[in-house]
Structure 1
Amino acid sequence: MNTEVPRLSVVVPVFNEQDVLPLFVERIRPVLDELGLTYEVVAVDDGSRDATPVVLGLLRRRWPQLRVVRLRRNSGHQSALAAGLRRARGQYLVSIDVDLQDPPEVIGDMLRLAQREGLDVVHGVRADRSSDSVFKRWTASLYYRLIQRMAGAAIPRHAGDFRLLSRTAVDALVALPEHLPVYRLLVPWLGLPSGEITYTRAPRAAGRSKYPVAKMIRLALDSIVGFSAAPLRVATWLGLIGIGICAVLAGAGVTAHLSGTTVPGWTSLLVALLFLGALQLLCLGLLGEYVARIFTSLQGRPAYVVAFDSATDAEPAEDALCRL
């Protein structure tokens, strides 16, 4: 077991990325070697079901700085990132995705900026999203505008999970009692000295995106519900608006009855019932999201379970087969 504390840790969440992993290592290894400092690359295998564990085992044989942390089941991108943050040992930590849309060459610029200006956080900000679809660009812009308005945090626009953190920032994040962390909100919330490095986002190097629309919606919901009570206030305002509309309709009905112009009709009644029913279900759904999170927190179940860490554990059987 290597007990030396590296100067830099690079945390890479991985899920079913057998095609892009060799390309990622081929590109990032020269970048890190040229920095001239001790480092480790913590690849967190988020319960992959393809040949990713075997590929990681083969790559680890040829790259001593590669460290593999394997989760027992798929726990999600943010949970895999949390596992990497807790296990990384570096004085500085960089989180980056394996798909090579975020360029590893920017890591050196991040590190130099942090050291020169004494920063605890350096965000990687996408200056160009032309590689994304029109739908992805539109939804991303809507997401950041909504989060900034509801959470009230100084969140850099178009900054994802590509960032550099000092050991101070990492320790502060790890100490937070967040069950479902969304780090693109938590990191700015810390209020630590921060800076930005802009870069051009590239197309995915290989494989398919692991963030379909359903996961994007889940991330947006986790961001809003997990970081702000604004949806509960929205439910309150919707209830007040509904009461106002019902009062107007009731007044109109009483007026029509007194004037003798009442006509039997089911349309207005049906519309009112549907409106009120939808409003109630929406409010109950918003309330249910918060109750579900309270229930999950009270259960105390971990967001992820680590099955293997190459820095501390014995070699698993499937990795031993890679030598044959």
Structure 2
Amino acid sequence: MFNEEGVLPLLAHRLRATLDGLAEPYEVVAVDDGSTDGTPARLTGLRADWPQVRVLRLRRNSGHQAALLAGVFRARGAYVVSLDADLQDPPEVIPEMLRRARAERLDVVYGVRADRSRDTVFKRWTATGYYRLMRRLVGKQVPAQAGDFRLLSRAVVAALRDLPERAPVLRLVVPWLGFPSGEVTYQRAERAAGRTKYPLSRMAGLAAESVTSFSAAPLRVATWLGLAGVAVCGVLLVVAVAAWAAGATVTGWPSLYVAVLFLGAVQLLCLGLLGEYVARIYTAVQARPAYLVAGDTADEQAGDTVGDRASGSPVELADSLR
């Protein structure tokens, strides 16, 4: 959660009623992704009468995927369910996820949005395009319209810990692992309170991160664009020689202008695509953790200070709690 003080009372009411109804031991790991509003204070108050709540505070706003990773790695249950705080994904679906996982021996159960009619037309259009692109690049194992609302078994969490990636895109990495999986459908609701934390810029960033994390196809696109540019230049060369032989050579600045613009655009596009992958290499070489834990109430209760001294990779942060 990031600046979600407005939705916390309703989230707590619905989530607690759902989890208490399971008659199972559970914990709620509330990942505070560097909130600057009253979210931390509300979480402190929430813990006073809901002992199963555990607050994991990150030192700064690390981003949605990093916060999800922190929660998944720190969770201690046999099954881990990730859920955004905005209540667009209903917590009432969790019992059905758990039932299917146990009955069918599934390691992953995806929450699939069967109806997105309450989203804007633009949101539905871009989401459809994103999942279509991801399924083409990664494979059919990526479920369409499945976001970050999912159930994972302890085996999947262990496999995620073993990955060398600094900040994997979970909605693509989890299907790629190949564990037995199923789906539970639900109707996506409107945000219960507050405003979206995923504007167009962040959605575009997630799409770019997803593509460059899982495919070298953009580099091949650059290659094909370069070949197309060479072919066009060859045609223009033949036309120029033919015009010279026919004595029809005149100053043709429009054709020259278009050719220069086309070649320049192709070169810049290719450089940009290469830059995306070089940036990923640079980030990997730096080996900075995707998130830093400022505090974990579970550590405080145990008299430990693991969260305050955490400085390694996300995998090392999680391993410290094994």
TM over 0.5: yes
- Find the partner of 1:298 among 285, 299, 313: 285
Alpha-carbon distance in structure 2 between the residues aligned to 1:150 and 1:251: 38
The residue number in structure 1 matching 2:260 is 273
With 97-106 and 149-158 compared, the bigger mean Cα shift is at: 149-158
- Could you tell me how far 1:44 is from its partner in structure 2? 0.5
The residue number in structure 1 matching 2:270 is 283
Alpha-carbon distance in structure 2 between the residues aligned to 1:148 and 1:252: 42
- Could you tell me how far 1:89 is from its partner in structure 2? 0.3
The residue number in structure 1 matching 2:185 is 198
Amino acid at match of 1:102: D
Amino acid at match of 1:134: V
Alpha-carbon distance in structure 1 between the residues aligned to 2:220 and 2:141: 21
Amino acid at match of 1:117: E
- Find the partner of 1:30 among 17, 24, 48: 17
The residue number in structure 2 matching 1:43 is 30
Give the TM-score taking structure 2 as reference length: 0.92
Q: Tell whether the 8 Å contact from 1:180 to 1:222 is kept in structure 2 after alignment.
A: no
- Find the partner of 2:115 among 103, 119, 128: 128
Q: Deviations over 1:280-311 (max 9, x none)?
A: 11110110010011011101111110000000
- Find the partner of 1:105 among 62, 84, 92: 92
Q: Specify every segment of 5 or more residues in structure 1 that has no aligned partner in the other structure, as ranges.
A: 1-13, 316-324
2:195 aligned with 1:208: yes
Alpha-carbon distance in structure 2 between the residues aligned to 1:121 and 1:62: 32
Q: Deviations over 1:22-73 (max 9, x none)?
A: 1100111010001010000001100111111111111111110000000000
SS, match of residue 163 in structure 1: strand
Alpha-carbon distance in structure 2 between the residues aligned to 1:119 and 1:210: 31
The residue number in structure 2 matching 1:66 is 53
- Could you tell me how far 1:153 is from its partner in structure 2? 4.8
Q: Specify every segment of 5 or more residues in structure 2 that has no aligned partner in the other structure, as ranges.
A: 304-322
SS, match of residue 70 in structure 1: strand
- Could you tell me how far 1:180 is from its partner in structure 2? 2.2
Alpha-carbon distance in structure 1 between the residues aligned to 2:165 and 2:33: 19
Alpha-carbon distance in structure 1 between the residues aligned to 2:221 and 2:44: 50
Task: Spell out the pairing of 1:1-324 with structure 2 (5 A cutoff).
Answer: 14-313=1-300
Q: Deviations over 1:214-257 (max 9, x none)?
A: 00000000000111111111111111111111111111111111
The alignment of Structure 1 onto Structure 2 pairs a total of residues equal to 302
- Could you tell me how far 1:261 is from its partner in structure 2? 1.1
Amino acid at match of 2:161: V
- Could you tell me how far 1:171 is from its partner in structure 2? 0.8
Alpha-carbon distance in structure 2 between the residues aligned to 1:153 and 1:67: 36
Q: Tell whether the 8 Å contact from 1:153 to 1:189 is kept in structure 2 after alignment.
A: no
SS, match of residue 125 in structure 1: strand
Alpha-carbon distance in structure 1 between the residues aligned to 2:51 and 2:24: 14
SS, match of residue 68 in structure 1: strand
Give the TM-score taking structure 1 as reference length: 0.92
RMSD between superposed Cα atoms in Å = 1.0
Identical pairs, percent: 65
